[in-house]
Amino acid sequence: MQELTIVKVGGKVVEEVESLDTLLRDFSTIKGPKILVHGGGRSATAIADRMGIETKMVEGRRVTDASMLEVVTMVYAGLVNKNIVAGLQSYQQNALGVTGADMNIIRSRKRAKGDVDYGFVGDIEGVDAKALSQLLLTGAVPVIAPLTHDGQGQMLNTNADTIASAVASALSKLYKVTLVFCFELPGVLSDINKPDSLISLINPEKYSQLKKDGIVADGMIPKLDNSFAALNKGVSKIRITNIQGLSNKNYSGTVLSL
């Protein structure tokens, strides 16, 4: 089975010109078929502020009303996505920027109202692995923005970590998939203020304890929840690391295992 690498990039890495360029340079050296999934939350928040639109977050997830949906669609599918695509082209990577609506690759349903009304946020119902595989076979490098659709004409904001995990899970039936979460920290840390406090290996039992102790919180929770779900669905390997961990095979960051 052919190997496929899926890299999800977020945080400061995707927001700052120098770190993004380094990321794209190192990503371009990965051999074989590959997919890049990106976030862009800081950019969306900054532009929303400039437009006078309030940002509301609950447990690391963005509440998306109609005004915020306009912002994230413009920022994620436009500004951030096309900057990444252009950057990859400079490294001779035939990148193609897409959302979940393009080629119907990711279909979602609008999240039902519960204790929190997240608004126009999508929970993924299906990923068209065949369509993505067809793109990969042409030599294209899909660059996926964190937006999906409901099949009825409605765009939906969807967590980029969730998209990366869902895409990895779907394609694991066709490829041997390695999923890498790349952000500004070297991995999962026992002390956020100490870069050398890296937790090198996390299994489900360890994860439960880390949550109980408050070491893993906020945006890291959906990242790890989705990761363990992906491992259970056939993804071969998952790492959480920084740019150094992407380019240096001897530096793994945090490895997740069942």
* 249: pLDDT strictly greater than 70: no
Q: Which two tokens stand for residue 119?
A: 């608004």
pLDDT of the residue at 48: 94
Find tokens 């960051």 and name the residue.
253
- Residue 55 and residue 43 in contact, taking contact as beta carbons nearer than 8 Å: no
- Residue 253 and residue 194 in contact, taking contact as beta carbons nearer than 8 Å: no
**What are the pLDDT digits (tens) for 147-163?**
999 999 999 999 998 99
Total domains in the fold of the chain: 1
* 60: pLDDT strictly greater than 80: no
Domain that holds residue 202: 3-256
Mean pLDDT of the 71-95 span = 97
pLDDT of the residue at 207: 93
Cα(148)–Cα(135) distance, integer angstroms: 18
Region label for 239, one of left (φ > 0), alpha (ψ between -120 and 50) or beta (otherwise): beta
Q: What are phi and psi of 8, to 5 degrees?
A: -105, 125
DSSP state of 52: T
* 222: pLDDT strictly greater than 80: no
Average per-residue pLDDT in the chain?
92
- Residue 143 and residue 84 in contact, taking contact as beta carbons nearer than 8 Å: yes
Closest CA to 100 of 21, 43, 159, 44: 159
Which percentage of the chain shows pLDDT scores above 90?
Answer: 72
Torsion of Cα atoms, 134 then 78 then 110 then 51, to 10°: 170
Q: Which residues pair with 189 in a beta bridge?
A: 198
* 84: pLDDT strictly greater than 90: yes
Higher local confidence (pLDDT), 166 or 245: 166
**What are the pLDDT digits (tens) for 8-50?**
998 788 888 888 999 999 999 999 999 999 999 889 999 999 9
**What are the pLDDT digits (tens) for 99-138?**
999 999 999 999 999 889 999 999 999 999 999 999 999 9
One DSSP character per residue, 63-89 reads EB-HHHHHHHIIIIIIIIHHHHHHHHH
Torsion of Cα atoms, 142 then 147 then 148 then 153, to 10°: -120
Mean pLDDT of the 180-187 span = 88
CATH of the domain at 59: 3.40.1160.10
Cα(222)–Cα(227) distance, integer angstroms: 8
* 64: pLDDT strictly greater than 90: yes
Mean pLDDT of the 169-173 span = 97
* 188: pLDDT strictly greater than 80: yes
pLDDT band at 139 (very low <50, low <70, confident <90, very high): very high
Half-sphere exposure of 184 (CA within 13 A, CB side): 11
Q: Is 91 exposed, middle or buried (CB count within 10 Å of its CB: 0-12, 13-18, 19+)?
A: middle
pLDDT of the residue at 158: 96
pLDDT of the residue at 185: 86
pLDDT band at 3 (very low <50, low <70, confident <90, very high): very high
For residue 245, CA distances in Å to 12, 19, 29, 67 come to: 16, 13, 13, 37
Region label for 170, one of left (φ > 0), alpha (ψ between -120 and 50) or beta (otherwise): alpha
Return the number of other C-beta atoms located less than 10 Å from residue 147's C-beta: 25
- Residue 201 and residue 254 in contact, taking contact as beta carbons nearer than 8 Å: yes
pLDDT of the residue at 124: 97
* 256: pLDDT strictly greater than 80: yes
Cα(95)–Cα(143) distance, integer angstroms: 7
pLDDT of the residue at 22: 92
